[in-house]
Amino acid sequence: MKNFFRLLLCVACAYVMAGCEKEETTARKYGNLIFSSDTITLVPDETSTINYIKSGYWESTTPEPTCMSLDESIVSVDENGNITANNFGETDIVYSVYDTKWKCHIVVTDILQLEEDLINYLKERGFDKNNDNKISLEEAAEVDSIIDFGRVTDEKDPFKFLNNINFFKNIIYVEVYVGFLYDDFLKKTNITIGKLQRCDHLYIYISAWDDIEFYPTLNIVDMPTLKTLFIITHTDKSSWLRLNVENCHALEKVSIGTPVMHSISNLINEPNLKSCSIYYFNDNGEELFYESHVDEE
């Protein structure tokens, strides 16, 4: 009889465990996270965003991944995946859904992660002092201009170069072109250029093609000597530009070329602005119309 009850108890436990396992499996259907890059290299005070896409099947009830830094003294991260490099070293940002984890490795160094063509551009102009085909923060601080520099790429982060402009602390004149091919990670790109205390001229041409939809946000902030700002965006498909300008009180002239202007309202807060010209054009680059938001003197 005792053996019978033991057998009955074992059968009941097995049934309960099977039911729990089935319920857990049903409740936890989700696929995988694919990062735009498994390793991100930054310099101190640099901010970036960990971009990822979900692959496979994800149930609507599955929560969004949460993230945390394994060492916040090196890198901190907010709930939106925005990371800030705090000190030299290496650590991981861990994303979690239930008991499944994915890691993105972060390296903080004093070497800027520049493209080979930009390194060659700076090397030809004598800024690679150590002749090691690398540009350190110290070497970048000696660069006073980047003129007529173009970059066409299909890499995962073509705008890292634009964000890296922030570390050319003494740059005065910037004129750059960036073009890229289609990538799901880049539809809604947020670019910030700021805290350049000497820059007085900024010209940026961003071109996207391969039938891409492109919705960039460009933040120009805390540039007290900036006087002239030229921004052009172009794509083969739908696009709009959100331009945020803050604390650029020397700004006198703004020229913008874009298929659709989404927002420029905060430009009116710049007290010395004399001219704001906007050129709208179609997919063929033909100018549709022009408008001026500030009377030219």
How do residues 41-65 score in pLDDT, each as one tens digit?
A: 999 988 888 888 888 888 888 888 9
Rounded to an integer, what distance in angstroms lies between the CA atom of residue 250 and that of residue 226? 6
Hey, what are 208's tokens? 């996207």
Distance, C-alpha 239 to centroid of its chain = 17
Closest CA to 272 of 293, 256, 296, 249: 249
- Count CB neighbours of 68 within 10 A: 14
Half-sphere exposure of 229 (CA within 13 A, CB side): 32
- pTM for the whole structure: 0.69
Q: pLDDT tens-digit profile of 124-172?
A: 999 999 899 999 999 999 999 998 887 655 455 556 677 778 889 999 9
Q: Is the pLDDT of residue 87 over 90?
A: yes
- Strand positions, DSSP E, 111-240: 145-153, 173-180, 190-194, 201-208, 217-221, 228-235
Contact between 215 and 187 (Cβ < 8 Å): yes
Average pLDDT over residues 80-90: 92
Half-sphere exposure of 232 (CA within 13 A, CB side): 14
Average pLDDT over residues 219-228: 93
- What is the identity of the amino acid at 83? I
pLDDT at 263: 52
> Which of 36-40, 67-71, 79-83 is predicted least confidently?
79-83
Q: pLDDT tens-digit profile of 235-254?
A: 666 566 778 888 899 999 88
Closest CA to 50 of 161, 181, 157: 157
